[in-house]
Structure formats: C-alpha cells, structure tokens
C-alpha cells in the first residue's frame, strides 16, 4: 500500500536515488533547505530541520519519515554536525512522535563504525578473501565527528522507540554512487550502494514492520565487511547489484544475473 512519506534532505544525492526509483510508489512530501531545481513528485517544503514549527507543520498527515537531511561530510566541523545532524535529528524525532508518525527511517553512516577499520585489519578487510564482518550489533566506533553525530542519531532513535514506541530503522549507508562503484577505491567498492538498491532498500524501510533496527545499506558486493543479514531478515531487502561486476573502472565485467 502507498504510504504518505516525508522525505527530509530530498534535494540531495540519496534523495535523488530514492525518488528516481520510488516517485510513483508513495505519496511524497519533500523537505529541504535548498529549493528544488527540477519538477518533483509531490509537495516541496523549503525549510530547515532545526526550525521546529516548520518541521511540525511538515509532519501533518504523514505515515513515515525518511530522514536524510544533514551535513554529510566526513570532515564536517562540530558546530555543523551539532546543529544539522544532532539538533536537527532530535527535532525531527520529537515532531514525528507528537504527530503520531508510525516509522522513522534514519540515514546513518559507515562513519558511525569507521574506526573498526584499524591499521592491522586494513586493507585486507576490504577484500573478498577476508572474513571480518560487522553486523549492526556492535557498538559505534566513529571515525570522525560526523560519525559521532550519526551514532547520536541512532541513539536518539533508540530513545524515541523505547520511550514512545515509534518504529525506527537506522540505515548505516555505505558509499552511494550512480552508474558504477567508486573507481580505484577498495573501501568504497566494498561498501558500494547502487542507486537501484538504495531505492529498493528505502522502499523496504517504508513498507516493512519492525521495532528498532540498525542495518547496513550496501549492495550485495562480493568484497564486503558489512553483513546484509539483518536488512534481509528484518526488512526483506534483496539487493541486485555487486561491485565485483565492474572492473574497478566503470566497465561491467559480468552482466546482471
């Protein structure tokens, strides 16, 4: 069944991948502090997520919130992640609970756990033969202040779920690129998320029933150090892409199965 979905950060890259795949699947209300540059499916609200009144208004009649808005830079300074990623996310969760929203899908990041990539594990852990796997049950180990802000967002989700019973899924997104995996970047290839798998994963987050979940958001790459088991079991995620089907440049070496 189509859901009424509020998509924050809709003007960004992840928003683009989601809307490219799912424009017709749900009723969209889009929110971003930057106005749209082209036609969009649904109403577009130009607002900052730290503006409590605007966020509360955008939340009316919404079933599911997909919360992407924030500073996505791994090198982002503390004042920006504190305002946009932590304060903004708290404003979104609080307004969602008050509006009776059923589910919040939170865009977390690989950088919430980036410091598991220790000197003695890398680069082997980026390669197919290595068996090291994170599964979402491990504690956060952020690689920067941006990662700290994503771990904080996951914890806000845990709190709002436990205290207010709202369903929350935190997607630790890997590396989203369009068309082909990152070039000449083993880490990025191991955590590649294709546009179509991204749309499918967020569709499952919108439709599935769950309590509180942390899942990894990557394609079914041969070389991976993030388990997809929880995303498959809890959400029904069934990815179709694999960075191993590319030659490390932008050429396909094996067709889609």
Ligand X SMILES: NC(=O)C1=CN([C@@H]2O[C@H](COP(=O)(O)OP(=O)(O)OC[C@H]3O[C@@H](n4cnc5c(N)ncnc54)[C@H](O)[C@@H]3O)[C@@H](O)[C@H]2O)C=CC1
Residue positions forming the annotated binding site for NAD(+)? 84, 109, 146, 150
Q: By CB under 6 A, is residue 187 in contact with ligand LXAUTJHC?
A: yes
Q: Is 146 one of the annotated active-site residues of the chain?
A: yes
Nearest to 13 by CA among 245, 175, 148: 175
How far is C-alpha 247 from the chain's CA centre? 26
Stretch that binds ligand X, among 36-44, 154-162, 172-180, 205-213 (CB under 6 A): 172-180
Rounded to whole angstroms, the Cα distance separating 225 from 139 reads 15
Q: Is 69 a residue that touches ligand X (CB under 6 A)?
A: yes
Binds 74: which of ligand X, ligand LXAUTJHC, none (CB < 5-8 Å by kind): ligand LXAUTJHC
CA dist., res. 156 & res. 82, Å (int): 13
Token code pair at residue 152: 């904080």
Residues 85, 68: Cα–Cα separation, whole Å: 9
Round to whole Å and give the CA distance between 13 and 22: 14
Per-residue interface string for the shown chain with ligand X, residues 80-119, x marking contact by CB under 6 A: ----x---x------------------x-x----------
Which string of x and - marks every residue 27-66 that binds ligand X (by CB under 6 A)?
-----xxx-------------xxx----------------
Residue 161 touching ligand LXAUTJHC (CB under 6 A): no
> Which of 9, 153, 157, 188 touches ligand LXAUTJHC (CB under 6 A)?
188
**Contact, 232 vs 213, CB < 8 A?**
no
- 41: Cα separation from own chain's centroid: 20
Output 67 or 187, the one with its CB closest to ligand LXAUTJHC: 187
Q: At what angle do helices 195-207 and 13-22 cross, to 10 degrees?
A: 70
Among the listed residues 126, 146, 160, 226, the single catalytic one is 146
Query: From CA 133, how far away is CA 211, in angstroms rounded?
Result: 24
Catalytic residues: 146
The site for ligand LXAUTJHC (CB under 6 A) is made up of 72, 74, 109-111, 175, 187-188
């Amino acid at each position: 069944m189509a859901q009424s979905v509020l998509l924050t950060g809709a003007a960004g890259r992840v928003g683009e991948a989601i809307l490219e795949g799912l424009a017709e699947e749900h009723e969209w209300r889009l929110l971003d502090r930057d106005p749209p540059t082209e036609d969009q499916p649904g109403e577009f609200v130009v607002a900052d997520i730290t503006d409590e009144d605007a966020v509360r208004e955008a939340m009316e009649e919404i079933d599911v919130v997909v919360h992407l808005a924030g500073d996505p830079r791994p090198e982002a300074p503390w004042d920006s992640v504190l305002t946009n990623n932590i304060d903004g996310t708290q404003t979104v969760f609080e307004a969602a609970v008050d509006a009776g929203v059923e589910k919040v899908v939170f865009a977390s990041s690989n950088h919430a756990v980036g410091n598991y990539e220790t000197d003695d594990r890398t680069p082997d852990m980026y390669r197919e033969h290595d068996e090291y796997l994170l599964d979402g049950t491990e504690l956060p180990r952020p690689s920067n202040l941006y990662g700290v802000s994503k771990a904080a967002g996951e914890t806000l989700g845990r709190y709002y779920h436990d205290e207010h019973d709202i369903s929350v899924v935190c997607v630790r997104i890997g590396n989203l690129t369009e068309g082909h995996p990152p070039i000449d970047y083993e880490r990025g290839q191991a955590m590649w998320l294709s546009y179509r798998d991204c749309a499918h994963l967020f569709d499952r987050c919108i439709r599935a029933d769950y309590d509180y979940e942390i899942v990894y958001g990557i394609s079914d790459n041969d070389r991976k150090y993030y388990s997809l088991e929880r995303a498959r079991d809890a959400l029904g995620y069934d990815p179709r892409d694999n960075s191993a089907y590319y030659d490390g440049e932008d050429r396909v070496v094996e067709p889609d199965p």
